[in-house]
Structures are given as structure tokens and as C-alpha cells.
Structure 1
Amino acid sequence: MSETEAETDETDTHEQADTEPEPSDDAVVPVGVKLGSTRTVIVYPSPDGEDTETVRTLTCLATYEDVLTGEERILYGEEAATEYPDTVEFMLRSGLPEDEESAESAATFFTELLKSNDVPENSAVVYAIPTIDNEAGLANLESVVEGSHIGTELVRSYPESLCGALPAFEDGLGAINDIFVTINMGSTNLEVCAYRRGEQLVPLSTGSITGNEVDRRVANYVEEETQGRVNIDLTTAREYKEEHADFEAFEPFTDVIQQPGGGSHEFTIEHSVMDACDEYVDEVVDEVANSFLPELANSYMKVYQLALDQPIVVTGGMACLPGIAAEIERRLTDELQRDVEIVRADRPDLAAAEGAHEIANHLADGL
């Protein structure tokens, strides 16, 4: 939930997915990776080769001193965020490791995650990268993945929006040969681009329309709705969004906070969460309709015409919110005055790693 992401619980997640042939002992294992600002997802074959396993956890790290040995211990993911909320480090808040220190923390996190889940070393690794004009950050991310013990046979990166789009198409990897538009709605960036046989055209990226900004608005609107009686942090705001935002059937919800000096205060949220999400959709539609599509038409008119005849894929954590794809479809259709179809993967929060795994599986076959 990437983003902020919805449809989540606060524990590390392992899921079963598509069936794959059972590998031999020396077979190269395909691994898909998405190191996200909020959550990291890894997809790889199960030990028996009959299924794939999905590991999904918060991208964060905490350290503590072992009281018996005095040694430094490491926690990552939900355990770290729950037990050490005061010191936990989310090292990819901007979407990339910005400096040497955050890259080192990300490498430690990634190493611990891989070791805990026995991700095979003899692997072909494909990892999803954001479309961000930040060469230093991308180089740091590359060092984190390529410096790990996995990917001994191959390590390659592909755009997150491309990886996340593949699971939304029936022919999966075959969609790389098509022309289509993607809207990647993540925690730290909104990315829009067209693909022509895998080539990225007129990529647009903005850090002003994000899942994190929705969280900030939720926190502000809750304070306004409760006449200043309730102040929530951004983590709680994200939880409200992920658990309650619903463009199809939102229902007001009640929560309780402890008041300074004792006692508690019960309050009901009727519109704060959906007001923030509604504004987000308007901004996404405006960016697509009035910034990205005119640029695409100006640079590649034929691609523009062909792309709008195909479904537009929404990916990223914000795409998990129930009904958001249909809402974007309705508003974009109205804005463009032509029929637009919006599709998404069943689990947009997992899609980038799943798509990366599909590519890795294809590349591994050629090794």
C-alpha cells in the first residue's frame, strides 16, 4: 500500500499463487521483487515447485540490544513497527534509498527478509523500479538488490508500472507486445505512462498526488470533522483509509481514543476518509486527462489513438481501494467525453512483484 496499500493485515503474509513446474536441484529459480516505500513483496516458487509463495511485509527496520548477550538484534516488518514504533525506520519513504545510510538500512532489511524466508540464491531476479528521475536513488536500489545473496544467475530491473500491469491482462506476459497506458498509484508517486511493445513512452511522475498525501488529508479532515477533539497520526490515518475507504459502499465507523489525564473519547467518522479519497481521484483524473494524454497525443498520435481503444491499467496500493477503478473510469470517461475502460489486477498491491516474477520466469527459461 508500495502505498499506501489497502486490503492488508498487519502481519507478514505468505500466499499461494500460480502453479509452476517442479524445478530440478540445479534449476534457476525465478524471483520477483518489489521494494516499496511502505511494503515489500517477494514472489518465488515454493520448495516443491508446485506453487509460488508470496512474502509481503512492511519495509521497515528496528534494532535493539539483547539484554542477555549485549548484542544488537534486528527486527523488520510488522514486528518492528508494532514493537518499536518510536524508533522504527522506514528507509524508503521517498520510494528510493536517498543516501548511503538509507541504502545500508535497506540492504540490512532486505538481507533479513531473504534469510527469514529462505529465498533461493540460485535465482534469476527481476525487481520493479519506480519511474522517478533520481539516478542516485535508483543506483542505491540497484546496489541493495544486486548486493544481496540472491540473483546469482541474473538480476534485472523493469519499470514498476509495467510489472504491475501484467497480472491485469489475461495473457499476462504476452501484454508486453501490446500498446496500453498504465496509472501507477503509489504511496510516494503517481506514475502515468504508455507502453509500446514494452517501450516506455512519455512517462509522467509526480510526488504531489500520492497515497501518503491522502493519509495527511485524512488526518487533517478527521481533526476538522471532530472539531479538533481528535488528532490522529499518519499511521492511523493510513489504517483508516485501508480498512474503511470504499467507493462502492462506504459506511461511517466509530473509534475510541484515550484522553490525556485518563478516560476515553468515542467518535464517529462519517466523511473525512472518503473526502480525502474523492479529492485524490479528481487529481488523478485531471493529471491523466490534462497533462499526460495531451503530451502522448502530441508526441505519438497513433499510439494515443490505439492506447485509448485498450483498457487502461491502474496499479499500486491506492488501486486496492474498493470501487476506485470504476470511479476513475467514470470520471475519466466524463472528462474525455469518450468511453474509457479501467482494469486492475486482483491484488494491485502484489501485482508489481507478481509481474516481475513472470518476467523472471521467462528469462530463467533462457539460462
Structure 2
Amino acid sequence: MLEEKMDQVEEERPAPLGIKLGSTRTIVAESQEEGVKTHDTLTCLATYEDVLTGDQRIIYGEEAAYEYPDEVQFMLRTGLPEDETQAEATAMFFDSVVKATNTPSDSVVVYAIPAINNERGLSNLAEVLEESGVGEHLIRSYPESLCGSVPVFGDELDAIGRIFIAINFGSTNLGACVYRRGEQLSRFATGAIAGNEVDRWIANYVEEETQGRVNIDQTTAREYKEQHGDFNNFEPFTDIIQQPGGGTHEYTIERSVMDALDRYVDDAIDEIANTFLPQLANDYMKVYKHTLQEPIVLTGGMACIPGLVETFEERLSKELEHDIVVKAPDDPVTAAARGAHRIAERFVEEGRY
């Protein structure tokens, strides 16, 4: 009888969810029998008219980007919905994701959100999340880099009890801060060094490398970065474009992708070593000394580039003339959502909802 009551209580618990509404990708992490499952999609949508009914229909994610490349809307390119129009589009997108993934409303939800000083954007995002229909029992938000750091330090939320530096290599900005038992100290962010900027640099470098014969858009540049970027073992690759007057042109890329990625790492090190760390030392000298003895956690989608973490560690150590240890989560793309899910699990386990 007691076991039956305990099973009943267990069944009545809300579902823990971890969600990251990212500028490029949106991830939903949920519990299943085999473990944590993640749903991953591009953060974009397009609308079209149903030829039978005349109604407006919504298509999102990879399908929207592939089928409507000229009309697709990436509503969170800056990381947050900046105005009412973007907020409405974000709400439509997220509602579509929730329905498609059968995300339960009877849930405790932790969102991984950008650490950006943008009150209006954060307010718009908060409104979208609160009206989404999920998280009936509890909704909490934590910085993306903190959530992304959780898998690095283990399943028991050790990251919440530590003092460490987290650097987020995201699509829209380079961000850094110190976490002291979950509290953010000495935050830093710049949009001049970002994954989206790397895409623009690659497009420019491709034009230069091909002496102006090839012009690619930033979507293609991003695909080059994700498919071919590799600090360990980059290999030149060929591609083919359709010529305006007819026919095709085959070209080989030998430098453009890695030139852009090298520039990204060097610029990031310059900002971290010469702006963020001096700021941290000035504000919290003891914390600064402590964190340099601890692993620095690298989060964000750019950390997926093979060899980037090791290259950053080597070059930052050289710049500081001090041996630095840099770690990144397995699968950085989903890490923030998985970390948020673990925090949501803790709320459910402790009945704090």
C-alpha cells in the first residue's frame, strides 16, 4: 500500500523541462525512460497561404529555412525579441515547437537565457515564455552560460556551488562572467566578436580568395564553418556555383574558413585577456586569483568547432603567461538546455514548485 502511494506521488510530479530559445537554434530537453532527450530546431519561421482554405499557415525550423529561404524570419538574431513584431513572431514559433514536440504544460520549466543588458528584449522574452502554456507549476530563468556549464561539472549541480569563469562563444556575442555559487560577477559582452560575425568574415574572405569570382551568402558561410571548420585537421574543399549567364563554376577554398576562425579566436583572447580579466581583477582581486586556478568553461555553439577549445586554451595561456585549463561540455549546442533541465529536475525532486 505504501509503495502504491509513493508511486502515485511520483506519477503526479510535474515534468522537468530545460529550454533554450537561441538566436540560431532552439533546444527542448525533457526526461524520458532512457534518459534526457533533446529536441533541436532552427529558430526561424515562415508563413504561407493554404491554397485550399486561404488561411495563413506557419512553418518553422529547417523546413522553413529550406522551403522559404527568401522569406524565412530569424526573429532572435540579436539574441532577444527587440520589438513587438519580433515578440509576436517568437511567440508563434515557440507555440509551434511546443505543439510539435508535445511539450507538457504540467511542467516545471527552466529557461537558459542570454546574459544581455537589454531590459526591453528581456521583458519581451519573459512575456513570450509566461504565455507559452508550459511551466504551469514553475518558470525560472538562468543565464545561458551557467546552464551550459552544468554538464561540465557533473549531474549533481556542482556548477552552482563553484567559483569559476564562464565564456560564452555564441552566435550573437562573446560573453564572459564569473559565477560565485550561481551569482554573476563582473559581466562582459561584445557583439563585435560572434559566430554571426565569423560567417560574414568567411563570406568576405571567400570573395577575396577567389579574386571576386565567388560571392556566397552568410547562410552558406555558416554551413562552411560548421562542416569544414577544424583546428585539428582542416582540409581544403571544393564547391560549385551556378553562373549568372549559364553554366557552373567550381572553386576550391583553402584559407577562408580557417582565416576567419583564427581571427575569431585571436580577437576573443584579446578581449578576455585585456578587457574582461583586468576588469575582474580590479573589481574582485581574490576571486580573480582563485578563478585562474580553476577550469575556465567555454560554452556556446562555436565551441563545437573541432580543436577550438584546445586552441583557445593554448593561446590564452601564452597571452597570460600562465597555464590555463579550458573545458567545454559534450555537445555544446544542447548543453544549456540540458543544464537547465537538470536544474528543473532539482526543483521537482525537492518539491519546490
Q: TM-score range by the shorter chain?
A: over 0.9
Give the Cα separation in 2 of the matches to 1:181 and 1:219: 32
Q: Which amino acid aligns with 1:237?
A: A
Mapped contact 2:304–2:332 kept (Cα < 8 A): yes
1:168 offset after TM fit, Å? 1.3
Measured on the aligned residues, the alpha-carbon RMSD in Å equals: 1.3
1:298 offset after TM fit, Å? 1.0
Q: Which amino acid aligns with 2:22?
A: G
Aligned to 2:3: none
CA deviations 1:204-252 (Å, max 9, x no partner) are 0111100010000000000000000000000000000000000000000
1:25 offset after TM fit, Å? 3.7
Aligned to 1:38: 24
For residue 322 of structure 2, give the secondary structure of its aligned residue in structure 1: coil
Give the Cα separation in 2 of the matches to 1:178 and 1:246: 32
Aligned to 2:75: 91
CA deviations 1:162-186 (Å, max 9, x no partner) are 0011111235511210110011010
Count, aligned residues: 345
Mapped contact 1:219–1:234 kept (Cα < 8 A): yes
Aligned to 2:215: 231
Aligned to 2:294: 310
Deviation >4 Å, runs of 4+: 21-24
Q: Which amino acid aligns with 2:276?
A: F
Distance 1:249 1:174, change over 3 A: same
Give the Cα separation in 1 of the matches to 2:343 and 2:79: 22
Aligned to 2:188: 204
Aligned to 1:179: 163
Give the Cα separation in 1 of the matches to 2:187 and 2:54: 50
Q: Which amino acid aligns with 1:321?
A: I
Aligned to 1:366: 350
Aligned to 1:152: 136
1:308 offset after TM fit, Å? 0.7
For residue 157 of structure 2, give the secondary structure of its aligned residue in structure 1: helix
For residue 85 of structure 2, give the secondary structure of its aligned residue in structure 1: helix
Give the Cα separation in 1 of the matches to 2:156 and 2:329: 10
Give the Cα separation in 2 of the matches to 1:63 and 1:189: 28
Confirm whether residue 114 of structure 1 aligns to residue 98 of structure 2.
yes
Q: Which amino acid aligns with 1:41?
A: I
Aligned to 2:258: 274
Calculate the TM-score normalised by the size of structure 1. Answer: 0.92
Confirm whether residue 329 of structure 1 aligns to residue 277 of structure 2.
no
Aligned to 2:4: none
Aligned to 1:190: 174
Give the Cα separation in 1 of the matches to 2:345 and 2:181: 19
Gaps of 5+ in 1: 1-20
Q: Which amino acid aligns with 2:15?
A: V
1:64-75 residue pairs with structure 2 within 5 A? 64-75=48-59
Mapped contact 2:155–2:342 kept (Cα < 8 A): no
Mapped contact 1:214–1:276 kept (Cα < 8 A): yes
Give the Cα separation in 2 of the matches to 1:139 and 1:281: 32
Mapped contact 1:22–1:50 kept (Cα < 8 A): no
Greater share of helix:
2
Give the Cα separation in 1 of the matches to 2:181 and 2:155: 14
Which of residues 245, 263, 267 is equivalent to 2:247? 263
CA deviations 1:15-73 (Å, max 9, x no partner) are xxxxxx99944211110011011110110113xx4422200000001111111111111
Distance 1:257 1:189, change over 3 A: same
Gaps of 5+ in 2: 1-6
1:328-367 residue pairs with structure 2 within 5 A? 328-367=312-351
Give the Cα separation in 2 of the matches to 1:22 and 1:161: 36
Mapped contact 2:14–2:108 kept (Cα < 8 A): yes
Calculate the TM-score normalised by the size of structure 2. Answer: 0.96
Give the Cα separation in 2 of the matches to 1:179 and 1:124: 27
Give the Cα separation in 1 of the matches to 2:129 and 2:155: 28
Give the Cα separation in 2 of the matches to 1:35 and 1:246: 27
For residue 252 of structure 2, give the secondary structure of its aligned residue in structure 1: strand
